[in-house]
A and B are shown apart, each in its own frame.
Chain A
Amino acid sequence: MKIMIVDDSKSIRFIVKKHLLKFNPNFTITEAENGKECIERVFVDKPDLVVMDVNMPIMNGDEAVKVLKTDLRTRHIDIMMLTTEAETTLVMKLLKLGIKQYMIKPFKSDDFKKKFTTLIQLMQREGKVPDFNMPIMCAV
């Protein structure tokens, strides 16, 4: 499974990557620093899932979601948003745009694991990713 992490913060990309690889060391992880770079790189990296921040320079996460979800070539890519803002209107807007999951920062390792497990299970039910022989529940 290919996952792209999009965040202007190197620290957050580092933490998210660490969590994802704990979850499954076979994930292929790529990174982008903002929405614009993400949109440019999805055609090369072809991720199954994008984990993206909202508040970024050059192009915000919500603008990037809009682009990804309106382009026929990228609309199948699932998106998990990371945001510091728990504002209901923002979350509703992102869900309407088509994101599958969201996570409020700062997050604890267990919270990330729970939300990510739910997302992966949903993607597995939709046949978008294979069953990973349940390494999910064994992740430390």
Chain B
Amino acid sequence: MPVDIFLLKLQTEAQIEDECQKIIGGIINEKILLQDAVNTEFDFTKSITGCINLIGDINLLISISFPFALGKDLSARTLELSLQDVDAELMIDNVQEILNQVGGGVKNFIVLQNVKIDMELPRVKLGRDYVKTASPKKRNFYKIENQIFCVDVTID
């Protein structure tokens, strides 16, 4: 295994998750605070969840879950619209674009280390947090003002 890939794998998933939350913070022009995962309340039945795969010398799956209210709020902020003007279609589309930008940002972070990686198209689902069942590990919760969301990264 090439040394650079070996070294990249040594980077913890948490570092890349940290990179993801920085990118999301950049998109909405706000610092996102890390939330203590133990005491969070997250309604997993009313969430919008998206995944994006980065495939190449290493494989990454980045997943983000937002409660509906936060997904709507983020969409309204990024599109400079009122909350009433954001419908489900626009919210899904906007979360897809956020994932695209997170994937692009993480790819930029990885290719700086001479690792070849390609980004697939993002996938978004409404209504349930399927990452929870796919990834039973401890979730990584972040906070925008008082609203909570999750970012999970799995590296192969």
Contacts and interface: CB of A to CB of B under 8 A. Distances in A.
Contacts, number: 51
Contact of B101 (A18, A84, A108): A84
Interface of A: 9-12, 14-15, 18, 55-57, 83-87, 105-106, 108
Chain A contact residues, majority secondary structure: loop
A24 B107 CA distance: 34
B94 interface: yes
Nearest to A105: B101
A103 to B, nearest CB: 12
Nearest to A54: B104
Interface in B70-112: 75, 78-80, 89-90, 93-94, 96-97, 100-101, 103-105, 107-108, 111
Interface of B: 26-27, 29, 75, 78-80, 89-90, 93-94, 96-97, 100-101, 103-105, 107-108, 111, 119, 121
A105 B78 contact: no
Nearest to A90: B111
Given A85-B104, A85-B107, A105-B104, A11 B121 contact: no
B23 to A, nearest CB: 8
A55 B108 contact: no
A85 B101 CA distance: 8
Q: Which 6 A-B pairs have the closest CB atoms?
A: A84-B104, A11-B94, A9-B97, A10-B93, A106-B27, A86-B108
Contacts of B108: 85-87
Contacts of A9: 93-94, 96-97, 100
Given A9-B96, A10-B90, A85-B108, A15 B101 contact: no
A87 B104 CA distance: 9
B75 A11 contact: yes
Contacts of A83: 104
28 contacts: A9-B93, A9-B96, A9-B97, A10-B90, A10-B93, A11-B75, A11-B78, A11-B90, A11-B93, A11-B94, A11-B97, A55-B104, A56-B121, A83-B104, A84-B100, A84-B105, A85-B108, A85-B119, A86-B104, A86-B108, A87-B107, A87-B108, A105-B100, A105-B101, A106-B26, A106-B27, A106-B101, A108-B29
Nearest to A13: B93
Given A55-B100, A55-B119, A57-B121, 7 more contacts: A9-B93, A9-B96, A9-B97, A10-B90, A14-B79, A18-B80, A84-B105
